[in-house]
Structure 1
Amino acid sequence: MTKTTLINRITIQKNLCVNKALSRSPVLSPGFFFISLLSLFLISAFSNTAQAQGEIKNDSTVQVSRQWYEKFKIRGYVQGRYNRLLETNPNLGCEQCDKSWGENGGFFLRRVRIIFYGQISERVYFYIQPDFASSATSTNLQFGQLRDAYMDIGFDRKNEFRVRIGQSKIPYGFENMQSSQNRMPLDRNDGINSAVANERDLGAFFYWAPTSARALFSSLVKDGLKGSGDYGVFGFGFYNGQTANRPDLNNNRHVVARLSYPFKIGNQVIEPGIQGYTGYYVMASSQLSPGIKTNADKNYLDERVAASFILYPKPFGIIAEYNIGRGPEFNKETDSIEVQNLQGGHVTLSYQLRFKNKQILIPFTRAQYYDGGKKHETDARSYTVRELEIGVEWQPVPQFEFVAMYTMSSRRYEDFIKQDNLQNGNLLRLQAQINF
């Protein structure tokens, strides 16, 4: 017998008692009348309270407000490296890639990232990522430095239209946007990455993607298919142009736009894309060697356009990108920095093997080429890079990854002080990564 049924029976019996009393006594005393009303009131109140409790207990749609600390999450990863095995040329280096290449390189923490992020309201999302493996100088390592700090503001309830404000990745190049936590080769390719050092800058960007595309972008990362994340089907924005953690120097903004669309063909997912940017880059005084010649205002045209093609590894994968453009580059014939043509790109092939014990093994190879300047390095160094990498990524558990990669490299990199500098060499590179 339920509590409600019991209460109803008590109410009926009480009413019968009252009726009998009324039939026996034609005259009601004030005391009897008061006691009867009080009894009915208490029984009714008890009945309503019990029914309300039962409704609350059985109602699964009751919303419980979340505390502020329940609206964001924390995750991160750490990468430790060693690059000196089977090394044939200690003078071969790559400033953009990994400062532990070559002479005096040893065990090295490449990245120590802790990420704070969350959808703190229906239309407001935030993302903050510091890195604790930054180098203040060549002899001082493991300093904290901001990588990302931005907010996404949605224009609709599904956040298909949104604007991103703050320091974030520039939507240029698939491998640039892809997190280093997910990338197979240990460093980004020179051709695309030379567009934006550290891939980031301060700015405001508009992104649009339908809900279906946003869900696919998310699944490509969650399912271990090495996705780039959600930078929209269409992106457009303005940014300072001096790269991350550096102030603007010319009161002019760079402009960038990108269009890409992931779609399924059978079991495969393909994502073609095109992107471009334009602006003026300022060579800061700290980047210049004494005696080098520059423009009077040190402003240089900086513009590129790139095409991307991605076949996600199910199980065979392809990442192919190429860009052309113009930008500042050191010219040793005139000892000056001039606007010159540039071009370069890469092709990465991979094959993802998934075993019954949930381990993952991904053999991969990448060939890359770049001929042009690197505006963010000393004197906008002039580069010609030809490189082939063969490696394998092993994931015994989702929380741990190990990469072994053999690099065969030819790099010409020249500035005002270091001219006629061509370095060839091979090396075996190792990386251990923990995800949390």
Structure 2
Amino acid sequence: MKKRALATAMWGMCASATAETAPQAALELYVDTKTQQIYAEPGPGRQKLGRFVRAEEGATAGVTATQSATAVSATPVAVVAAPVASSVKSSKWYDRIGLRGYVQMRYNQEAGGDAKDLRAPGDKFIGKDQGFGIRRARVVLSGDVSDRMSIYLQPDLASTPTGSSTTNFAQLRDAYADIYFDKAKTFRVRAGQSKVPYGWEDLQSSQNRLAMDRADALNSAVRDERDLGLFFYYSPGVAAERFSYLQKSGLKGSGDYGVVGLGFYNGQGANRPDRNDQLHTVLHLTYPFKFANGQYLEVGADAYAGRYKVASPTSVSIGGSTFTPSVNAPAEGSVDRRVAAHVIYYPQPFGFQAEWTVGRGPELDVARKTIRTKSLRGGYAQVMYKFDGEFGSLMPYVKWQTYRGGSKFDTNAPRMLVDELDVGVEWQPVKEVEIAVAYANMRRTDVTTAPYARVDGNLIRLQLQLNY
């Protein structure tokens, strides 16, 4: 509407200003879609207004009194004639679709202990005989199809299927549409495969996250943070503006998943079909408060419940005994439910964030040689400080995490014991480039292979992220 009003005003100022002037060369004009600034050449974020003809100052013959007054008061310089063609009126839905993405390259170096034997769900390049690896290669196609619907499509070109000896396969991450119930976009339903609104850090994109990996206690709830279902979100205007600002300002926001969210999803994880005809239900509550001094604080809580069917158990050898565990659960699967709370004090410049979760889920009971429902708990705390200067943005951080509970997505759902401390810094010299360096002391269970040993090791970790 702003661009249309701008073009109309330009036409109103001088609709007939060229009636008695000599023909001039046509000039193409472009408008920046964010700032509404007019330009004479194309560029990023600029939309073509049309072709205009330059007219001499004072050429007002044939102009009505109102038009003449407008032209004189509005501009002391040359005026332009009506556009030959208006691209605003002829705009198609595909003109509003954007393309972006990012790539993350990782390198982990052993720095003591049994680092070569470490395994972590968040980084497949941890372990012996590792070199450079591409952790993420994302391309996002998104935009507004109309005033009432937007789309979001995101594949990852750096996936590794289970059991594969090669990397960098393409796999779907997100494929959904937001359908809005009102013009203000306060109420919407998200249909398709998307992030399940459980856990604040799980909703935060890897592109925005400060620490290298998500905390296991929260991330063990939903495989790849995503599932297929319907999610209803309520985002009042003030909160929606704050969510957007916190994500785009460099303060490491998680995005807009509503002040209130309610979802129904399969429960088996991303890119996996449902196995029990039993939908999971999730409830999400959060609010970003803004203090008088400009400081942002976000607090909230989440909960989900459902039944999860573990993968078929396999034979294991633990403590001198070899057995194939049974599954102590009904046909529809094991009880799977959790609650969590979060508090985020955004780095302005000092920041703090923490989350904690408790619940029950499937876990291998070695003594009983069975997989049964057991309790779980865990969380993390992180402090950070944001420096903005001539050489970009610098953000050091310290993160501690712990988890005691089953790893339901791994074969036999072994018990996972995690105690980890990360100390690192992220440097963003320009918005397109981010460099992160971290030291990590990891004490965690290798849940990939029996007898599920607990490994203690130290790593130096490097990451280069390219945003485009």
TM-score bucket of the superposed structures, by smaller chain: 0.7 to 0.9
Q: In structure 2, what is the equivalent of residue 225 of structure 1? A: 251
1:284 equivalenced with 2:284 (yes/no): no
Paired residues of 1:130 and 1:148 also in contact (CA < 8 A): yes
Q: In structure 2, what is the equivalent of residue 35 of structure 1? A: none
Q: In structure 2, what is the equivalent of residue 268 of structure 1? A: 295
Q: In structure 2, what is the equivalent of residue 430 of structure 1? A: 462
Q: In structure 1, what is the equivalent of residue 184 of structure 2? A: 158
Kindly provide the amino acid, as one letter, of the partner of residue 408 in structure 2: K
Kindly provide the amino acid, as one letter, of the partner of residue 309 in structure 1: V
Count of aligned pairs:
390
Q: Secondary structure in 1 aligned to 2:239?
A: helix
Shift of the alpha carbon at 1:376? Answer: 0.6
Deviations 1:315-342 (A, max 9, x none): 1111100000000011111221110000
Q: Percent identity?
A: 44
Shift of the alpha carbon at 1:62? Answer: 9.3
Deviations 1:352-384 (A, max 9, x none): 000034x01000010001000011111112111
Q: In structure 1, what is the equivalent of residue 363 of structure 2? A: 329
Q: Secondary structure in 1 aligned to 2:271?
A: coil
Q: In structure 1, what is the equivalent of residue 105 of structure 2? A: 80
Paired residues of 1:404 and 1:429 also in contact (CA < 8 A): yes
Kindly provide the amino acid, as one letter, of the partner of residue 426 in structure 1: N
Q: 1:5 to 1:219 in 2, by over 3 A?
A: closer
Q: Secondary structure in 1 aligned to 2:412?
A: helix
Paired residues of 1:354 and 1:360 also in contact (CA < 8 A): yes
Q: Of the candidates 148, 155, 158, which is equivalent to residue 130 of structure 1?
A: 155
Unaligned runs of at least 5 residues, structure 1: 9-46
Q: In structure 1, what is the equivalent of residue 430 of structure 2? A: 397
Paired residues of 2:307 and 2:332 also in contact (CA < 8 A): no
Paired residues of 2:111 and 2:457 also in contact (CA < 8 A): no
Paired residues of 1:406 and 1:426 also in contact (CA < 8 A): yes
Deviations 1:180-234 (A, max 9, x none): 0010111100111111111000000000011111111011111100000000000
Shift of the alpha carbon at 1:56? Answer: 7.8
1:381 equivalenced with 2:408 (yes/no): no
Q: 1:432 to 1:4 in 2, by over 3 A?
A: closer
Q: In structure 1, what is the equivalent of residue 144 of structure 2? A: 119
Unaligned runs of at least 5 residues, structure 2: 1-13, 21-61, 68-78, 317-323
Paired residues of 1:274 and 1:307 also in contact (CA < 8 A): yes
In structure 2, C-alpha distance between the alignment counterparts of 1:81 and 1:4, rounded to whole Å:
62
Q: Of the candidates 125, 135, 151, which is equivalent to residue 100 of structure 1?
A: 125
Paired residues of 1:88 and 1:427 also in contact (CA < 8 A): no
Q: In structure 1, what is the equivalent of residue 372 of structure 2? A: 338
Segments ≥4 residues shifted beyond 6 Å: 2-8, 58-62
In structure 2, C-alpha distance between the alignment counterparts of 1:140 and 1:246, rounded to whole Å:
21
Q: In structure 1, what is the equivalent of residue 319 of structure 2? A: none
Shift of the alpha carbon at 1:267? Answer: 2.0
Q: In structure 1, what is the equivalent of residue 260 of structure 2? A: 234
Q: Secondary structure in 2 aligned to 1:176?
A: helix
Kindly provide the amino acid, as one letter, of the partner of residue 296 in structure 2: V
Shift of the alpha carbon at 1:92? Answer: 3.5
1:319 equivalenced with 2:353 (yes/no): yes
1:362 equivalenced with 2:387 (yes/no): no
Task: Report the TM-score when normalising by structure 1.
Answer: 0.84
Q: In structure 1, what is the equivalent of residue 441 of structure 2? A: 408
Shift of the alpha carbon at 1:4? Answer: 6.3
In structure 1, C-alpha distance between the alignment counterparts of 2:272 and 2:238, rounded to whole Å:
37
Q: 1:93 to 1:158 in 2, by over 3 A?
A: same
CA-based RMSD of the aligned residues comes to 2.6
Which protein has the larger Cα radius of gyration, Structure 1 or Structure 2? Answer: 1
